[in-house]
């Protein structure tokens, strides 16, 4: 049985290596045979008369992108009232092809959107990771405070958790960015990313506090009694015995919270943070097409799948000790 399982793993690894090698060779061939960008620009200028380009002046733009296996370029008049049809070309495998309609136009548009979408995705991922990490750190103290026997600390932590879990995240975001300056100008947060970070961190702290509290209280009470019998203080028992045992139970709900925050970060586009959703809405309005939502959703799916796989590995790793 072990040999059969080992053989299957070996065959699977060999197939993956063969597929990666084939992709590498195909990419190398395409990268070596793609036409030079100057040839594509010449094709565009042949389609747009020189007098039209001169009439447009600085409103005539030529946008180019150099990808690993192809080039894409577009010439257009960006004036609102007078526009000649944009000319788009893709250079791949030694050929220069017009991409002004059909499937090639969709492909060219996607290639033009992609750099900005990826830039917005980086903002989305950065804000999510920072908010969850700092929020988790905050949630540990909130959870311990809520289960504390010290009455004022317990009530303050419980009120905090109740408030941030009981009010919409969008309202919290609006209050921190738009509301605080009305209370006092010194409280104004001019950096939009920082305002979003604070709002999401405070919100994540409240939700993860309940997750951590439930995980800690799910550990058998005998563990605490045994720790005290060994001479450990309450703090040492929590740090060395109770909390480490709760890790395996924490990962699934924390992973779910992370994915929820990743998608909720799209709300920050409302206050002008240039994340993935903001970039998508911008392209949708400027190009008057809804097709930009397709690559944006695919990027969201890829990011979600990547982090889900990481959390699944962590869950398997820590489940050994759960």
Closest CA to 115 of 60, 69, 64, 61: 64
Task: Report whether 127 contacts 197 (CB < 8 A).
Answer: yes
Q: Backbone dihedral region of 60: left (phi > 0), alpha (psi from -120 to 50 degrees) or beta?
A: beta
- Which tokens hold the place of 101? 């309609």
The predicted model scores a pTM of 0.84
How do 60-66 and 71-77 pair as beta strands? antiparallel
pLDDT confidence bin for 319, thresholds 50/70/90: low
Range of weakest confidence among 122-131, 190-199, 266-275, 285-294 = 285-294
Whether the pLDDT of residue 232 is over 90: the answer is no
Whether the pLDDT of residue 2 is over 70: the answer is no
Q: DSSP strand E in the chain: where? A: 60-66, 71-77, 87-92, 95-98
pLDDT confidence bin for 5, thresholds 50/70/90: low
Predicted confidence at residue 130, as pLDDT, reads 96
Predicted confidence at residue 297, as pLDDT, reads 94
Whether the pLDDT of residue 244 is over 90: the answer is no
Helix, strand counts (H, E) of the chain: 13, 4
Predicted confidence at residue 321, as pLDDT, reads 47
**Residue 295: half-sphere exposure toward Cβ, Cα within 13 Å:** 24
pLDDT tens per residue across span 100-140: 888 999 899 999 999 999 999 999 999 999 999 999 999 98
* Percentage of the chain lying above the pLDDT 70 cut: 91
Q: Backbone dihedral region of 274: left (phi > 0), alpha (psi from -120 to 50 degrees) or beta?
A: beta
Matching residue, tokens 């903001």:
278
Matching residue, tokens 């040999």:
3
pLDDT tens per residue across span 59-70: 888 889 998 889
Bridge partners, 90 (sequence order): 72, 97
**Superfamily of chain region 111-321:** MetI-like (1.10.3720.10)
Residue spans per domain, the chain: 2-99, 111-321
Q: Which H or E run contains 128?
A: helix 102-146
pLDDT tens per residue across span 256-271: 999 999 999 999 988 8
């Amino acid at each position: 049985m072990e040999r059969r399982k080992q053989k299957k793993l070996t065959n699977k690894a060999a197939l993956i290596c063969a597929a990666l090698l084939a992709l590498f060779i195909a990419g190398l061939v395409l990268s070596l045979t793609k036409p030079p960008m100057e040839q594509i620009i010449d094709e565009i200028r042949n389609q747009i008369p020189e007098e039209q380009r001169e009439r447009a002046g600085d409103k005539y733009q030529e946008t180019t992108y150099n990808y690993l296996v192809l080039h894409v370029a577009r010439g257009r008049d960006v004036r609102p009232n007078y526009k000649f049809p944009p000319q788009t070309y893709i250079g791949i495998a030694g050929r220069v092809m017009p991409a002004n309609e059909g499937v090639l136009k969709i492909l060219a548009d996607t290639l033009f959107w992609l750099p900005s979408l990826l830039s917005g995705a980086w903002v989305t991922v950065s804000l999510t990771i920072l908010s969850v990490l700092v929020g988790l750190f905050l949630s540990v103290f909130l959870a311990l405070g809520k289960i504390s026997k010290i009455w004022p600390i317990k009530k303050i932590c419980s009120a905090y958790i109740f408030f941030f879990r009981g009010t919409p995240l969008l309202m919290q975001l609006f209050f921190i960015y738009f509301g605080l300056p009305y209370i006092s100008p010194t409280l104004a947060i001019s950096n939009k990313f920082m305002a979003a970070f604070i709002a999401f961190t405070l919100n994540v702290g409240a939700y993860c506090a309940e997750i951590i509290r439930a995980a800690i209280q799910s550990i058998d009470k005998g563990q605490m009694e045994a720790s005290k019998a060994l001479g450990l203080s309450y703090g040492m028992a929590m740090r060395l015995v109770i909390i480490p045992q709760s890790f395996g139970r924490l990962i699934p709900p924390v992973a779910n919270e992370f994915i929820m925050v990743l998608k909720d970060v799209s709300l920050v586009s409302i206050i002008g943070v240039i994340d993935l959703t903001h970039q998508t809405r911008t392209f949708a309005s400027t190009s008057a097409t809804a097709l930009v939502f397709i690559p944006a959703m695919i990027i969201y799916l890829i990011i979600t799948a990547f982090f889900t796989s990481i959390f699944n590995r962590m869950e398997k790793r820590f489940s050994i000790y759960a």
